[in-house]
Amino acid sequence: MSAAPATDMNATYTGIRAATEEVLPRRVWQKRYARRLLFTDFLVLAIVIGSVQVFWLGFDDAASFGFPTMTGGQYGGEVSYGIVSGAILILWMLVLVAVGSVDSRVMGVGHTEYRKITDSGIGVFAALATSMFLLKLDVARGYLLLTFAIGIAGLLFARMAWRKWLKSHRARGDYSNQVVLVGSRSSIRHISDELAKQPWAGYNVVGAALAQDPRDSGILAIGDVPVISDFDGVREAMDIIGADTVIITGADHLDPQRVRELSWELEKGEYSLVMAPSLTDVSGPRIHSRPVAGLPLMHVETPRYTGLRAAMKRSFDILASLLIILLLFLPMGVVATMVKVTSPGPVLFKQRRIGLDGEEFRMLKFRSMRSDAEQLLAQLDAADRMDPDSVLFKMKDDPRVTKVGRFIRRYSIDELPQVFNVLMGSMSLVGPRPSLAQEVAQYEHHVHRRFLVKPGITGLWQVSGRSDLPWEEAVRLDLYYVENWSLTADLAILWRTGRAIFEGKGAY
């Protein structure tokens, strides 16, 4: 296959180079960002360890130790807590580097970075506990527990702050891999659209190289992505436009030997080769790579909705809902009183929704609308709907909403009675949005996968935009949750829910 005409291609090279020449080379920004992370980690741990020592033990305390000698005697003494604190700091920093917490593949995206931070703290604690046992080192338990508990929390909050900074820069194209997509037109379009939705992932698409399909001859762009070469010229084109990463989006027309040769060519510089499977919306824990006969086979686990993980999720739901009821019983009473005295009608709004396995249940909410809201629904002008193509009815200034209702909706206070649904087992704290029967009647077949898990008070789509999201994106996020749910993901969604409620955005 021939590339685009030389004059057009030269203009494309010039334009892309001008747009990317201000971008830092990958090896520069990655090292710079890693150094910033390590400096912040060191600062956080030094402050935490030093503060715990001073406030818990003072300056003069020492830890005693003793261990048998070769002659059968006993050697013992004391060691300053300053030395113990210094040893913990150095060991912890070494472990943070060893576990790859500043690896470019985990910085800024996903939960792996946070897991490595937590694992490093637990690992250092376990190593220290073992050393204390073998050396009979008598270290204050309160000092150790506070050091590691506060230290891990401090590191996590520091990394979260850096992530927020990194996301803001990546939204402008900085601190990102400059990517060339290689494959067919359809696969390049699909991957570029998916990457464009998440610029904070750090993949800035700057060009495309088409596989050797004669039908692709003469194409200059795929969507907003300029075609810079065919497959045979991708290595040279990367140097011209300043790209550092190749993503193979599809290999239908690619010779396996030529792909391998490309990987060898990329080894000569600071470049990366990434293979993007056609299967999307599957998270890391379900994916396992296994080399077999020289083939890097990717195994994708089937989602499991029963067993130990399901029991843990149900146990967490019960304990958390009981805690919420105990803590917010009086505030819920105040809200109930406000609803009752400001508008005629019942305090609670009970509505039939579709839940697990397509079974109906009654969902509870504080009433935020007039008591005749259901009857008025048909009279509302369809032109006022926020998304006419959606199966959901969403109106930003719904006239049926009461004054109190507008406030409690803005901060999702109207959802609080659903904790009783969670306690009784018809809902979960986290899950897909509970559906109305008339909405289910309009669902496409694949959308029914939402009913493989219990609906939730909050979920992935709620914390990703709430009512501002178009229907297709809300469905995609709900299905992503169903395919990849875990207790860790639930905790992350609950954390993001608290932030979304506090900001009061996207809920009507």
Torsion angle (degrees, nearest 10) of CA 150, 155, 157, 159: 180
Q: Please, which residues bridge with residue 66 across strands? A: 76
Q: Which domains does the chain have, with CATH numbers?
A: 6-23+176-278 (3.40.50.720), 27-170 (no CATH), 308-503 (no CATH)
| Whether the Cβ atoms of residue 84 and residue 100 lie closer than 8 Å to each other | no
Q: What are 22-48's pLDDT values in tens digits? A: 555 666 888 889 999 999 999 999 999
Judged against a pLDDT cut of 60, whether residue 381 lies above it is answered with: no
Is 252 in a helix, a strand, or coil? coil
Could you tell me the pTM of the whole model?
A: 0.65
| Whether the Cβ atoms of residue 210 and residue 185 lie closer than 8 Å to each other | yes
Q: Which of 298-307, 356-365, 477-486 has the lowest mean pLDDT?
A: 298-307
The pLDDT, as a whole number, for residue 3 is: 42
- Residue 500: count other Cβ atoms within 10 Å of its Cβ: 20
The pLDDT, as a whole number, for residue 81 is: 72
Judged against a pLDDT cut of 50, whether residue 7 lies above it is answered with: no
Looking at per-residue pLDDT, the higher value among 389 and 80 belongs to 80
Distance CA 111, CA 93 (A): 20
Mean of the pLDDT values across residues 496-502?
Answer: 79
| Whether the Cβ atoms of residue 184 and residue 211 lie closer than 8 Å to each other | yes
Looking at per-residue pLDDT, the higher value among 183 and 117 belongs to 117
Residue type (1 letter), 48: V
Judged against a pLDDT cut of 50, whether residue 383 lies above it is answered with: no
Distance CA 92, CA 101 (A): 12
For tokens 């909706």, what's the residue? 409
The pLDDT, as a whole number, for residue 15 is: 52
- Residue 389: count other Cβ atoms within 10 Å of its Cβ: 8
